[in-house]
Homo-oligomer: A and B are copies of this chain.
């Protein structure tokens, strides 16, 4: 009997990544620029319909905020988002109606955590934290092998950390919370604070020490709350790999041996984590 074929769709603010196959070794990929919701979703549906092999299920991993409550009338919708034309869009329903297939739905970061725990930097671990530090900051997690959500989904980018205005007078750029983690330490915050894009800051710029301190403070809170077995940190800002040893050192300092720090590692699946995680989501609803 041939292996079942699954589709994964990672819905992002700039592109939708689609993949169809039986696993990472057998994948057909398509990248679709994010334009209007109807055009973009139409493109996704055409790609999935064009597949020669019949699909068993579809998994969707989306940017947020999204509604993950299967009992909610807006399950699978993007909620209000600053992205024009994408608020209250029924992402999951559009695919489900057009394709007539089961469609699993979760956040992009939870999907990335799933994929990294199956094929990537956290193989075989059931309690994993995935934090992406890019334009914004987002976190996903597996707890006992399942994506973490409850009343809504985690918004780890919006936790508060100590912010000493005397040493760092920057007020933060989060439109909701000013100096929450994302407001202080996202790629956009770095650019706004230093007047230059993060990737253009030289390795000896004080920006990196400050960034490592803020991220370590955030990790301390996340470790004390979730106790993950491993932390994967991805996203554009983390491409500056010097951050890893700096964050590890600060985290140990901040936790003070009272709480054990887990390993902190870069992702192994890179840009594919989201869409591979979406395929695992698809698998999970039919098995």
- How many of chain A's residues have a CB under 8 angstroms from any CB in B? 42
A144-B144, A144-B146 as given contacts; A226 in contact with B226, CB under 8 Å: yes
Main secondary structure of the interface of A (DSSP, over half): loop
Residue contact A156 to B224, C-beta cutoff 8 Å: yes
Of the residues B139, B220, B260, contact of A152 by C-beta under 8 Å:
B260
Interface residues of A in 3-61 (CB under 8 A from B): none
> Contact between A176 and B226 (Cβ–Cβ < 8 Å)?
no
Contact B156 A225 (CB under 8 A): yes
Whether, in the assembled complex, A149 has its beta carbon less than 8 Å from a beta carbon of chain B, the answer is yes
In the complex, what residues of B have CB within 8 A of residue A258's CB? 65, 155, 158, 176-177
B contact residues around A100 at 8 Å (CB)? none
Residue A159 lies at the interface, judged by CB distance under 8 Å to chain B: yes
Instruction: Using A158-B259, A177-B258 as known contacts, say yes or no to A148 and B227 having CB atoms under 8 A apart.
Output: yes
Known contacts A143-B144, A256-B176, A258-B177; A227 and B160 CB within 8 A of each other = no
Q: Closest Cβ of chain B: how far from A232's Cβ, in Å?
A: 14
Per-residue interface assignment for chain A, residues 153 to 170, with 1 indicating a CB less than 8 Å from any chain B CB and 0 otherwise: 111111111110000000
Known: A155-B258, A259-B152. A160 touches B228 (CB 8 A): no
Partner of A220, one of B143, B160, B257: B160
Contact between A224 and B163 (Cβ–Cβ < 8 Å)?
A: no
Q: Across the interface, do B221 and A152 meet the contact criterion of CB distance under 8 Å?
A: no
A102 at the interface (CB under 8 A from B): no
A136 shortest CB reach to chain B, Å:
12
| Chain B residues, CB < 8 A from A161 | 160, 162
> Are A227 and B154 also in contact (CB < 8 A) when A162-B161, A221-B160 are?
yes
Check if A222 is an interface residue, CB within 8 A of chain B.
Answer: yes
Q: Which residues of B contact A139 (CB under 8 A)?
A: 225
- In the complex, the answer to whether A160 meets B162 with C-beta atoms within 8 Å is yes
Within 8 A of B (CB), among A248-287: 254, 256-260, 262
Name the one of B65, B143, B149 contacting A150, with C-beta atoms under 8 angstroms: B143
CB neighbours of A150 from chain B (8 A):
127, 143, 226-229, 262
Q: Is A92 an interface residue (CB 8 A)?
A: no
- Is the Cβ of A143 less than 8 Å from the Cβ of B148? yes
Asked if A151 and B227 sit within 8 Å, CB to CB, the answer is: yes
Pairwise interchain contact B163-A228, C-beta atoms closer than 8 A: no
What's the Cα separation between A162 and B180 when bound, in Å? 10
16 A–B contact pairs at CB < 8 A? A143-B143, A143-B148, A151-B229, A151-B260, A152-B259, A154-B224, A154-B225, A155-B259, A159-B220, A160-B221, A162-B163, A176-B257, A177-B254, A177-B258, A221-B221, A226-B226
